[in-house]
Chain A
Amino acid sequence: MAALLRGLRAGRALRGLSSVVAAPTTTNPQCGSLRRGFHCAVLRLQDESKSDKPPSSTSSSTTYHEHYQAHSAEQDAAASASDPAADQSTDPNASYQDQSGEQDEEYETEEQLQARILTAALEFVPLHGWSMEAIAAGAESLGLSSASTGMFEKGSGDLVLHFIAQCNAQLTEILAEQHNQVQLGQAEPKKTADFIRDAVETRLRMYIPYIEIWPQAMSLLLLPHNIPDSLKHLSTLMDDIWYYAGDRSTDMNWYTKRAALTGIYNTTELVMIQDSSPDFQDTWTFLDNRIQDVVNMATTAKQVQSTGEAVVQGLMGAAVTLKNLTGLNQRR
């Protein structure tokens, strides 16, 4: 009987391992083994807390050892898929139903797990600020161990960047929806200045729940290791807003428009964090004024250009007249 059980367990382990080899990789192949280790530790602790077994030191060390062996065997295997297989091969109480159930539940990528933790952590930000405590609290609220904060290399910068990415995605959704409405003829197309103003206001309003602690987030984004990502998010945001505003330029205007909008957005953000007027009225007034400035500048630039062209035409006319008068304008 015991031999039969052992045989079944071995067969299950082999099947689990083979399915891991055959399964398509879903995890980012660049994730380090350390992060994978943390991920597995998180899942195992979650696993153990679920099955209500007191984790004995010997069993956890053997599972960790087997986990290392499993990982050295297949470098590219999905980490989450291999864990249930490793866990079930040593868990004496696992049944066939448990195996398939757990594999469905825990089959998510590391990015998805991180995203879940960070989203949950956002609730604790007003309490703990943009810090590892908030991330730990978020992890615990999901039933995971607070040690999972080790997954986040950039620390609280990761939390801020995740929040910003989330806000940008929300804004893109809203803008795409508006675009659809206009295409369907259900809404009137807005003038560019109004569209820009509404887009920036919508985006900045997403900061209102966290406005007290937003200065901390802004300073976190200025740390050297966070700057590349925050600049990338900012440039994608500006590109998205201009695209939905209808900009299809393929010359220097592409750059000048986005640079102007970045200036408007950043200065308005700075005004917002120290604005105490009701519903941030002062901020929106400031935004209106800045957009008006840019519109005026564009109009002035156009006027200067057309004036310049007219002057050049006049000069050319004068030159041709002179050449005619002096007889130099003859075809040779």
Chain B
Amino acid sequence: MQTAALRVFCHWSQSNSTAMIRQCLKCRALTLQQSSRAYGVIPPPRDSEEKEMVHRMLRVDHAGEYGANRIYAGQMAVLGRSKTGPFIQEMWDQEKKHLEKFNEILAENRVRPTALLPFWNIAGFVLGASSALLGKEGAMACTVAVEESITEHYNNQIRTLMEKDPERYTELLQVIKEFRDDEMEHHDTGLEHDAENVPGYWLLKNAIQLGCKAAIYISQRI
């Protein structure tokens, strides 16, 4: 959108003077080279270490949202036409928005997505569907477990970024905080809808959380 605005401005100014055109060209070239500056979410990296760290964070977040998306898809496939359908649909729509935002950020900053995406695709769907087969409480318990893991993960990332340089990463921190709040809301919704009533709640919850931790660990590296 900003390049379109610049182009309009330049066409208008073309009738005025060549000096302004040269300015346009310079600022457009700049925005193309460092498109993550004024309007981007992450600042242009200062060195390869920082780039590596930020890219790793974005990669695992993208993988997380993708997985969450697939989990809700699995749950909807089983429970879509039951009473809890609308609640799951609402949470799924929010996750879709999160995924869209991360897709944007990854594309803009040329971040490599994790190579395990097909695996998370299947694993997420299977997890969602099998937890939903345990009934509405099972689906809610799965939601509670996953959202708790994701919230903890986002909190860790927020802590890391705050320790490094909160002013440099303000936009990224904003995005992560917003998403973390959404996930906490999902967690509370799950608890409201009798997640704890599923038989073997403690076992189910811990097994799923262990899986989530492993997934986060792997996606950061591959």
Q: Mark B123-159, 1 if CB is under 8 A from A, else 0.
A: 0000000000000000000000000000000000000
* Residue B28 at the chain A interface, CB threshold 8 Å: yes
Considering the complex of A and B, which 10 residue pairs feature the smallest CB-CB distances, nearest first?
A: A248-B107, A250-B106, A250-B103, A250-B113, A254-B113, A251-B117, A252-B117, A180-B29, A183-B3, A250-B107
* Residue A239 at the chain B interface, CB threshold 8 Å: yes
Q: Mark A214-249, 1 if CB is under 8 A from B, else 0.
A: 000000000000000000000000010001000011
* Residue B213 at the chain A interface, CB threshold 8 Å: no
CB distance from B117 to the nearest CB of A (A): 6
Taking CB atoms and an 8 Å cut-off, the chain A residues in 276-332 that contact chain B are: 331
CB distance from A32 to the nearest CB of B (A): 20
**Could you name 6 residue pairs across A and B whose Cβ atoms are closer than 8 Å?**
A176-B33, A180-B29, A183-B7, A184-B10, A243-B110, A250-B103
- Which residue of chain B has its CB nearest to the CB of A251? B117
Taking CB atoms and an 8 Å cut-off, the chain B residues in 2-36 that contact chain A are: 3, 7, 10, 25, 28-29, 32-33
B→A interface (CB under 8 Å) = 3, 7, 10, 25, 28-29, 32-33, 62, 81, 102-103, 106-107, 110, 112-113, 115, 117-118
Asked if residues A251 and B110 are in contact (CB atoms below 8 Å), the reply is no
Residues of B within 8 A of A331 (CB): 81
Question: Chain B contact residues: over half helix, strand or loop, or mixed?
Answer: helix
Residues of A within 8 A of B118 (CB): 252
CA distance A243 to B110 in the complex (A): 8
Residues of B within 8 A of A243 (CB): 110
Residues of B within 8 A of A185 (CB): 7
Report which residue of A176, A184, A185, A249 has the largest number of chain B beta carbons within 10 angstroms of its beta carbon: A184
Asked if residues B32 and A180 are in contact (CB atoms below 8 Å), the reply is yes
* Residue A68 at the chain B interface, CB threshold 8 Å: no
Residues of B within 8 A of A250 (CB): 62, 102-103, 106-107, 113
| Given A176-B33, A183-B7, A250-B102, 10 extra CB contacts under 8 A | A176-B32, A183-B3, A184-B7, A184-B25, A243-B110, A250-B103, A251-B117, A254-B113, A255-B115, A331-B81
Taking CB atoms and an 8 Å cut-off, the chain A residues in 184-230 that contact chain B are: 184-185
Residues of B within 8 A of A176 (CB): 32-33
Residues of B within 8 A of A249 (CB): 107
Residues of A within 8 A of B25 (CB): 180, 184
- Which residue of chain A has its CB nearest to the CB of B103? A250
Asked if residues B7 and A251 are in contact (CB atoms below 8 Å), the reply is no
Residues of A within 8 A of B33 (CB): 176
CB distance from B175 to the nearest CB of A (A): 16
* Residue A179 at the chain B interface, CB threshold 8 Å: yes
Asked if residues A183 and B28 are in contact (CB atoms below 8 Å), the reply is yes
Residues of B within 8 A of A248 (CB): 107
Asked if residues B32 and A251 are in contact (CB atoms below 8 Å), the reply is no
Asked if residues B7 and A239 are in contact (CB atoms below 8 Å), the reply is no
- Which residue of chain B has its CB nearest to the CB of A255? B115
- Which residue of chain B has its CB nearest to the CB of A239? B110
| CB-contact partner of B32 in A179, A239, A252, A255, under 8 A | A179
Asked if residues A254 and B112 are in contact (CB atoms below 8 Å), the reply is yes
CB distance from B113 to the nearest CB of A (A): 5
Residues of A within 8 A of B102 (CB): 250
- Which residue of chain A has its CB nearest to the CB of B24? A184
CB distance from B130 to the nearest CB of A (A): 21
- Which residue of chain A has its CB nearest to the CB of B99? A250
Residues of A within 8 A of B32 (CB): 176, 179-180, 183
Taking CB atoms and an 8 Å cut-off, the chain A residues in 117-135 that contact chain B are: none
CB distance from B137 to the nearest CB of A (A): 18
Asked if residues B110 and A180 are in contact (CB atoms below 8 Å), the reply is no
CA distance A250 to B102 in the complex (A): 9
CA distance A183 to B33 in the complex (A): 12
Asked if residues A251 and B113 are in contact (CB atoms below 8 Å), the reply is yes
Taking CB atoms and an 8 Å cut-off, the chain A residues in 163-180 that contact chain B are: 176, 179-180
- Which residue of chain A has its CB nearest to the CB of B105? A250
CB distance from B98 to the nearest CB of A (A): 13
- Which residue of chain B has its CB nearest to the CB of A331? B81
Residues of A within 8 A of B103 (CB): 250
- Which residue of chain A has its CB nearest to the CB of B33? A176
CA distance A92 to B29 in the complex (A): 52
Residues of B within 8 A of A255 (CB): 115
CB distance from B208 to the nearest CB of A (A): 24
Residues of A within 8 A of B117 (CB): 251-252
CA distance A249 to B62 in the complex (A): 13
CB distance from B77 to the nearest CB of A (A): 13
CB distance from B119 to the nearest CB of A (A): 10
